[in-house]
Amino acid sequence: MNKHKRTLSGALALAVAFGVAAGMQSAGTAAASERPAEPLPGILHRLTTVDGAPGALVEARGRNGATVLTSGVADVVSGEPVRGDSRFRIGSMTKPFVATVVLQLVGEHRIALDAPVERYLPDVVRDHPGDWRGVTVRRLLQHTSGLPDYLDFLSPQDILTDPLAHREARDLVDLALDRPRTFRPGHGWDYSNTNYLLAGMVIEKVTGRPYGEEIRRRIIQPLGLTATIVPGDDPAIPGAHPRGYVRPGKDAPLMDATAVNPSVAGASGEMISSASDLNRFLDALVGGRLLEPAQLREMMKARPVGDGRAYGLGLERRWLPCGGSYWGHGGDIFGFQTAGGATVDGRQTSVMANLDPGGTDAQDDDIQNAVEAGLCAARK
């Protein structure tokens, strides 16, 4: 998992996703690493006790149906428990939705994966005349562009001082693009939310419609994802939902950050969903119902990024402790940390905790552990 600052003193606190996925390894190596997965109820309880999150939920799906577990509270004032059908901000789990739309447009011959970004966003390139050679659509989706992350130049304190403020995607992009590249395109890997702001702008340029409208038209409506929205400027979370909390310092009391204008994340992490909807989306994506085989293969061409992880095009891969691997993503945004994964044989698990930033490294680990435990349990 890519660790990020766990308090508001860190700049990278909005939508840094965890990585998943290892590069290809032999079947013998994978089998040798198999071990029993920890029971899911214990992990969920730990998230809301020693790990420090007020509440958590998980939904695991497999051939025998769905299991929904919750722990802790949705509201630290009222003590209301977390509901299993809760909606929540999903942060960088938005990225697989965006990447799916881009790849659908590739399949329609409206976008070329290896075309330079300049073909679609000439104004952006002209206004930021640094070295754009090799910055392609593929490299945006895979975080191999070398473009710096705009969140490195945006203070979380400033966001929370005026949490309802609208922020233009172009203004956020401008924060990053005049800065030095982190590496030459294609010669490294570095997670950068700037890449997905640009990917959203490419969708809009090609289709003439907001990227969120394309996600609704192409994914949300066909799959019947009734709890999933691209909220734009709306700071509210509709329907039943937990409060989202941040911890401003190590021993500071929790701060309610439920109402935030998600335009600060845009196509890099603004969406709202539920565990059930995320599982349905991941199942449809990994199962080949959203992309043609050629585009799904491109999405799943994952490059190793360290710690036994690999990153494809908006989708990540990791090996399971009980054997095999899964595809998924995760995300952090003010108030919520999420993760989800799916296997090609039809298992899915999505997890939420309502604290971020300000959680512990143990919370990071147990979010990941819960995904893996849910997928392993659903195998039975």
Positions annotated as catalytic residues are 92
Give the tokens for residue 180.
């030095």
Output Rg (C-alpha) for the chain, integer angstroms: 19
173: left (phi over 0), alpha (psi -120 to 50) or beta: alpha
CA-based nearest residue to 307, from 4, 19, 15, 24:
19
Name the helix (H) or strand (E) containing 256: strand 255-256
What is each CA distance from 50 to 3, 43, 140, in whole angstroms? 19, 10, 38
Give the Cα separation of 199 and 75 in Å (integer): 35
Give the tokens for residue 12.
């990278």
Give the Cα separation of 356 and 338 in Å (integer): 10
Give the Cα separation of 218 and 159 in Å (integer): 31
